[in-house]
Structure 1
């Protein structure tokens, strides 16, 4: 099974969300269903970055690493480097 670390962006919130999943299509649908939680009150989340991992442990470790940065500039830099 493959695991994906992902970064979402909401234009409405002007914020990023970092997570990981084994089913990215299902996960983005759930993020956009206006439910409780950080992503729940808007439904314009778009995937702006992904990384693939072979194990859940590796993906979770990377998710926590990116979240620990607490820096929009550093996250934006990661996204920009993946585009160029």
Structure 2
């Protein structure tokens, strides 16, 4: 198995200046957050800049991260805030 296939992926939540939470996936959430801060990578941040990498959850692979991202996007804001309050996690 190559390093590319075994590299972990992450689901992350970024808090925008207006308090909204954006959910995404990346193999490097810190790099992706830096892109969001520069206004690149997601139109979401064109209206309210990225302010904080609020939550990161490690996943075994990209497919798992995509499924977890869909699940988190379906959550109501209070449930997303609970994830942020609980801190970093791992995909189940």
TM-score between both structures, scaled by the size of structure 1: 0.83
Which blocks of at least 5 consecutive residues in structure 1 are unaligned?
Answer: none
Equivalenced residue count is 81
Rounded Cα–Cα distance in structure 2 between residues aligned with 1:77 and 1:68? 14
CA drift at 1:43: 3.4
CA drift at 1:45: 2.5
C-alpha RMSD of the superposition: 1.8
Task: Report what 1:8 is aligned to.
Answer: 14
1:21 to 8, 26, 42: 26
Task: Report what 2:38 is aligned to.
Answer: 33
* Equivalent pair of 2:14/2:50 in contact (CA under 8 Å): no
TM-score between both structures, scaled by the size of structure 2: 0.77
Q: Which shifted more, 71-80 or 36-45?
A: 36-45
Runs of 4+ in 1 over 4 A off after TM superposition: none
Rounded Cα–Cα distance in structure 2 between residues aligned with 1:41 and 1:34? 9
Which blocks of at least 5 consecutive residues in structure 2 are unaligned?
Answer: 1-6
1:57 to 50, 63, 87: 63
* Equivalent pair of 1:33/1:40 in contact (CA under 8 Å): no
